[in-house]
Amino acid sequence: MPQALSVGDRLRLSGGYDYEPRWLPNGQSYFGTLVAFIPGQNAIPAAVVQLDRPITVDEVIGEVLVLELRYKGAMWKETETVHVELCPFVPESRSWQHREQGKWVESHATYHRVDAENAL
């Protein structure tokens, strides 16, 4: 499956279902690097993002996010809406149903691919 995103791409993650998402205190965004694609919940693989710094949500601290595409027919491209799972560990390359799961923190986040210079 051709993908517009590639391992090594820099991403900015933001947004959410709520006006003030609990995973984004003070409306900030997070930056990270796409480090892998692993089997997802459906046919489309999930993306694993190594954040630049750890984040905390409801007492779970982690620096790895697993992103799953939100809408049917969506593909990994420059920007898209995703579910976000916060992991205090590096997830195995197995489907969500067959691996240790992190904490689900958002259903409507948005990622944007960014230039390395703009992701500091």
**Per-residue model confidence as pLDDT tens digits over 80-115:** 999 999 999 999 999 888 999 999 999 999 999 998
In the predicted structure, residue 67 carries a pLDDT above the cut 70: yes
- For 42-53, what is the mean pLDDT? 94
pLDDT band at 3 (very low <50, low <70, confident <90, very high): low
The residue with tokens 């620096």 is 63
Q: Is the dihedral of CA 102, 81, 116, 9 positive or negative?
A: positive
Q: Output the pLDDT for position 117.
A: 56
Q: Is the pLDDT of residue 26 over 90?
A: no
- Of 119 and 53, the structure prediction assigns the larger pLDDT to 53
DSSP state letters, 11-40: EEEE--SSSS-TTSGGG--EEEEEEEEE--
120 vs 101, more confident: 101
**b or e along 13-45 (b: 16 or more beta carbons within 10 Å of the residue's beta carbon)?**
bbbbeeeebebbeeeeebbbbbebbbbbeeebb
Instruction: Give the mean model confidence (pLDDT) for residues 62-68.
Output: 97
Q: Quick count: other Cβ atoms within 10 Å of Cβ 105? A: 21
